[in-house]
Structure 1
Amino acid sequence: MPDLFAPDPAESAPLADRLRPRRLEDVVGQEHLTGPEGAIGRMVAAGRLSSMILWGPPGTGKTTIARLLADAVGLRFEGVSAVFSGVADLKKVFAAARDHAAAGQRTLLFVDEIHRFNRAQQDGFLPYVEDGTVTLVGATTENPSFELNAALLSRAQVLILHRLDANALNTLLDRAEEAEGRPLPLTPEAREALVASADGDGRFLLNQAETLYSVKLDAPLDPAGLSAMLHRRVAVYDKDREGHYNLISALHKSIRGSDPQAALYYLARMLTAGEEPLYVLRRLVRAAVEDVGLADPQALVQCLAAKDTYDFLGSPEGELAIVQACLYLATAPKSNATYAAQKAAWRSARETGSLMPPMNIVNAPTRLMKQLGYGKGYAYDHDTDEGFSGDNYWPEAMEPQTYYEPTDRGFEKRVAERLAYWEELRRAKRG
């Protein structure tokens, strides 16, 4: 198993490794955890660590914090990666930890990419965590509530690391310049562009800085020159993981909140990162019926037309139809009355079971059924002057219910007027 956690990188090591902090207080961007009032800061001050899961984006300091934690409280450090380790490797680690525990030396076991272990492998940690053989520090970029066993989560504290902000990233560049003994060959504007391109990932930023130091330049690069030299960073976006669900949720809620600008931003985030356009269209259709509904019935038509247009044109031309549908939804009047009506009607159907409809509106296909009174007394609405009979359509054992209550927004305002008119006629016909 390769040693991924060598403590003293050589001069030939990558810049990111050479600049790893040697003290917890030198870790940037995670002061909410490592500061005196943070969870890690308090544990270190008390000299006792609980098992924990460090959850955060790539390049935010998870591995560094784990190693520094061991040093801070005098624990033996053992590091493994779930990408390279199997059951046999873990057994060796636990056996060594038990031997050291017998000699009075406890072990901090750092497990990088812990979410890559399957459920059975995760269960294997439990007895060693419970009896204190190891203090587990797991690192993951994925939502622990989705990827880790409940039993393991109940024995560990989940600590969230933030993506590095501009101040933290600039601090890393300052340290890089100090280590190299010269400034980055960038104009101030290009330096800002480099920081923005890192997307909160300190390791990526330092790797880019190292690339800049490795070439000879006649003059500092401007933003255009920087873009031409360095590859554009691809947004972190796994289609089957949390980033996917975060962005689709943000898109839907921006539409619901009638913010077309934010909705368009999240739509662009997803499509430029490679999301399947038909997946986005399915969510737009859902928003049309859930959040716009009969306040603007054309919203659903627009979404289905966008789907047909995209099927016809493909990318990139067909994506314009998706944009149009997104903007239509975000700017349409909103109503969840249809959604609420469905929930209420479904609940009522489950509660009332198999109640028979009233005899006047049941089908009477045979002579016997007619003799039994099936369909007797049915009033054909079109035979009335108003085109409305006001008849009762509810089971005898059930009071009439109100599931759908239209709003006074958009087309639903007209629907509400119709319902009020029919209710008035119904009361008049019943005397």
Structure 2
Amino acid sequence: MADLFAGDMPAQPKTDEPSADAPLADRLRPRDLSEVVGQEHITGPEGAIGRMVAAGRLSSMILWGPPGTGKTSTARLLADSVGMRFVAISAVFSGVADLKKAFAEAEVATKAGQRTLLFVDEIHRFNRAQQDGFLPFVEKGTVTLVGATTENPSFELNAALLSRAQVLILRRLDADALGRLLDKAEALEGPLPITPAAREALIQSADGDGRFLLNQAETLYAAKIKEPLDPAGLGAFLQRRVAVYDKDREGHYNLISALHKSLRGSDPQAALYYMARMLTAGEEPLYVLRRLVRFASEDVGLADPEALVQCLAAKEAYDFLGSPEGELAIVQACLYLATAPKSNAAYAAQKAAWKSARETGSLMPPQNILNAPTKLMKDIGYGKDYAYDHDADEGFSGADYWPEDMAPQTFYKPVERGFERQVIERMAYWDKLSAKRRGE
């Protein structure tokens, strides 16, 4: 079914009008690129698609955007705008045989002087070998490929295919664009049986998905509601929309990145929001806990040594209580991290030390700090003149522990925040004692 938005495969050309009993989204599908709402940044005169249409020639492209933002309609209207033959396949339902047939028919059409726009919905679902199969036909100009995907092309599509196609990003529909869709629906079907406040709630519930919004509107029309519903009545009537979140896809990484950076930025409110987004959408609580534990070491570190303890305690509490009770412990750890003093000194020290270890290879530690379990080892100097720090004044010998062929390094540089202020004082004191004992 062709509709106003992406997701369903278009089955009818532009000249076919939908029947009176067709779904509302199908009856409201745009008839021209100018009618595609919310994507003016690419369909307008200054946009990539607008410029292609004005020139009368299309290049292959990947339309990347959330569900219900107009990918399918845009592709269909592109073909109409430049007089190309439009062929649509779905990577969900099509296989190699379908692709071979589409390419063969396109070659015949090319000989007859007819260019072909091949629209591939959910193109990321084709495997790497199948994606490679497009390359010779795109290069020869047999087809102009327009792929649609909800997933990040950088992760899901071959580099060779991406190098031959322009990636165009369709935006999540904002409240204004969704409002215009409802205006179109009401112009066709009459006023919706909802109050102005409920209309705003309906738009918000769509989460940027135009198709979902129109499907909800159609449900309201079909119910023949006599009195307008307020927001509470609307919520009781319509099923609650579940947030879009694929735990192994880009949405997963976007939210965990937002959570991590909100914590680093000491914004407990935003951090709690992004964590709630993940957990209410079905993310594994233990995954969130693992990221919090990592954050405690990477971004808080010794500025507040208790941060790691809090996160591990939250993990234990969740293991003990499970969901939903144990999720409060995760919230506590999240808030602790967001409000804790921050230092990445330990993280930076690790990277610097690991780099130095790789570069210096197998340098021998100084003999005086090596154990000498055998007589031979003692005879050749292992452990000789070792200064036992507990016997030294103030429990500090100030000995040189670095390999003879390596100058002392400074990997760990604590910051003037939280507990690390005390660490700085200790290190400065030890440096002062070392200098004194060296006679400096």
CA deviation vs aligned residue, 1:20-60 (integer Å, no higher than 9, x gap): 10000111000100011111111111111110000000000
Do structure 1's residue 16 and structure 2's residue 25 form an aligned pair? yes
Do structure 1's residue 371 and structure 2's residue 372 form an aligned pair? no
Partner of 1:409: 417
In structure 1, give the amino acid aligned to 2:365. Answer: P
Measure, in 1, the Cα distance between the counterparts of 2:273 and 2:81: 43
SS at 2:168 equivalent: strand
Instruction: Give unmatched runs, 5+ long, in structure 1.
Output: none
Partner of 1:201: 209
Partner of 2:12: 6
Gap change, CA 1:162 and 1:255, over 3 Å in 2: same
Partner of 1:316: 324
* Equivalent runs, 1:144-183 vs 2, <5 Å: 144-180=153-189, 182-183=190-191
Measure, in 2, the Cα distance between the counterparts of 1:43 and 1:336: 48
1:400 to 378, 398, 408: 408
Measure, in 1, the Cα distance between the counterparts of 2:214 and 2:349: 55
CA contact 1:51–1:135 (8 Å) conserved in 2:
yes
How far residue 4 of structure 1 moved from its aligned partner, in angstroms, is 4.0
Measure, in 2, the Cα distance between the counterparts of 1:147 and 1:321: 36
Partner of 2:230: 222
Partner of 2:83: 74
State the aligned residue count. Answer: 430
Given the two structures, how large is their TM-score scaled by the length of structure 2? 0.97
How far residue 5 of structure 1 moved from its aligned partner, in angstroms, is 2.6
CA contact 1:299–1:328 (8 Å) conserved in 2:
yes
In structure 2, give the amino acid aligned to 1:268. Answer: A
CA deviation vs aligned residue, 1:250-274 (integer Å, no higher than 9, x gap): 0000000000000000010001111
How far residue 3 of structure 1 moved from its aligned partner, in angstroms, is 6.8
Identify which range, 8-17 or 99-108, moves more after superposition: 8-17
Measure, in 2, the Cα distance between the counterparts of 1:140 and 1:293: 40
Measure, in 1, the Cα distance between the counterparts of 2:309 and 2:63: 46
2:47 to 38, 52, 56: 38
- Indicate the percent of aligned positions where both proteins have the same amino acid: 81
Do structure 1's residue 303 and structure 2's residue 311 form an aligned pair? yes
Gap change, CA 1:3 and 1:244, over 3 Å in 2: closer
Do structure 1's residue 91 and structure 2's residue 100 form an aligned pair? yes
How far residue 183 of structure 1 moved from its aligned partner, in angstroms, is 0.3
CA contact 2:193–2:226 (8 Å) conserved in 1:
no
Measure, in 2, the Cα distance between the counterparts of 1:137 and 1:97: 14
In structure 1, give the amino acid aligned to 2:58. Answer: L
Partner of 1:342: 350
Partner of 2:273: 265
In structure 1, give the amino acid aligned to 2:200. Answer: E
Measure, in 1, the Cα distance between the counterparts of 2:151 and 2:112: 36
In structure 2, give the amino acid aligned to 1:153. Answer: L
CA contact 1:284–1:325 (8 Å) conserved in 2:
yes
Instruction: Give unmatched runs, 5+ long, in structure 2.
Output: 1-7
CA contact 1:164–1:201 (8 Å) conserved in 2:
yes
How far residue 86 of structure 1 moved from its aligned partner, in angstroms, is 0.2
CA deviation vs aligned residue, 1:220-264 (integer Å, no higher than 9, x gap): 011111111110000000011000110001000000000000000
In structure 2, give the amino acid aligned to 1:340. Answer: A
SS at 1:53 equivalent: strand
SS at 2:381 equivalent: coil
Aligned-residue CA RMSD in angstroms? 1.1
Partner of 1:211: 219
CA deviation vs aligned residue, 1:149-192 (integer Å, no higher than 9, x gap): 00000000000000000000000001011111x10000000000
CA contact 1:361–1:375 (8 Å) conserved in 2:
yes
In structure 2, give the amino acid aligned to 1:226. Answer: L
Given the two structures, how large is their TM-score scaled by the length of structure 1? 0.99
CA contact 1:4–1:80 (8 Å) conserved in 2:
no
